[in-house]
Amino acid sequence: MASEVKVPTLGESVTEATIGEWLKNPGDPVAVDEPIASLETDKVAIEVPSPVAGVMGEQAVAVGDTVEVGALIATIEDGVAQAGPETTKPRENPSEAPAEQAKDAAPAAAKDAGSDATQTLSPAVRRAVLEHGVDPSTIKGSGKDGRLTKEDVIAAAKAKGDAPAAKPSPAPAVAAASAVPAGERREERVKMTRMRQTIAKRLKGAQENAALLTTFNDVDMSAVIEARTKYKDLFAKKHDIRLGFMGFFAKAACLALKDVPSVNAYIEGDEIVYHDFVDISVAVSAPNGLVVPVIRDADQKGFARIEQDIADYGKRAKEGSLTMDDMKGGTFTISNGGVFGSLMSTPIINPPQSAVLGLHRIEDRAVVVNGEIVIRPMMYIALSYDHRLIDGREAVTALKIIKEAIEDPTRMLIDL
> End of a domain among 82, 110, 142?
82
- For residue 404, the tally of other CB atoms under 10 A from its CB is 16
CATH of the domain at 276: 3.30.559.10
d(CA 117, CA 133) in angstroms, rounded, equals: 15
Q: What is the mean pLDDT of residues 360-365?
A: 95
Number of compact structural domains in the chain: 2
Enumerate residues 6+ apart whose C-beta is below 8 A from 297: 277, 278, 279
Q: Which of 279, 387, 408, 415 is catalytic?
A: 387
Question: Does 21 map to a domain?
Answer: yes
Question: Does 410 map to a domain?
Answer: yes
Give pLDDT tens digits for 13-46: 667 788 878 888 888 898 888 888 888 776 677 7
CATH of the domain at 21: 2.40.50.100
d(CA 271, CA 412) in angstroms, rounded, equals: 32
d(CA 410, CA 387) in angstroms, rounded, equals: 31
Q: Which domain holds residue 4?
A: 1-82
Q: Worst-scoring range by mean pLDDT, 107-111, 252-256, 342-346?
A: 107-111
Q: What is the mean pLDDT of residues 339-352?
A: 90
Coil/strand/helix, residue 369: strand
Question: Does 7 map to a domain?
Answer: yes
Question: Does 363 map to a domain?
Answer: yes
- Categorize the per-residue pLDDT at 162 as very low, low, confident or very high, splitting at 50, 70 and 90: low
- Categorize the per-residue pLDDT at 99 as very low, low, confident or very high, splitting at 50, 70 and 90: very low
Q: Worst-scoring range by mean pLDDT, 51-60, 143-152, 206-215?
A: 143-152
Question: Does 122 map to a domain?
Answer: no
Same domain for 378 and 236, yes or no, is: yes
Q: Which of 233, 325, 391, 408 is catalytic?
A: 391
pLDDT value, residue 214 = 96
d(CA 332, CA 275) in angstroms, rounded, equals: 11
Give pLDDT tens digits for 296-317: 999 999 999 999 999 999 888 8
Give pLDDT tens digits for 186-242: 888 887 777 777 778 878 888 888 899 999 999 999 999 999 999 989 999 999 999
Give pLDDT tens digits for 129-140: 767 777 777 888
SS (H, E, C) 161-201: HHCCCCCCCCCHHHHHHHCCCCCCCCCCCCCCCHHHHHHHH
pTM comes to: 0.64
Active site residue 360: no
Active site residue 132: no
399 pLDDT above the threshold of 90: yes
Q: What is the DSSP string of 48-96?
A: EEPSSSEEEEEE-S-TT-EEETT-EEEEEESS-----HHHHS--SSTT-
> End of a domain among 67, 82, 97?
82
pLDDT value, residue 106 = 40
Question: Does 124 map to a domain?
Answer: no
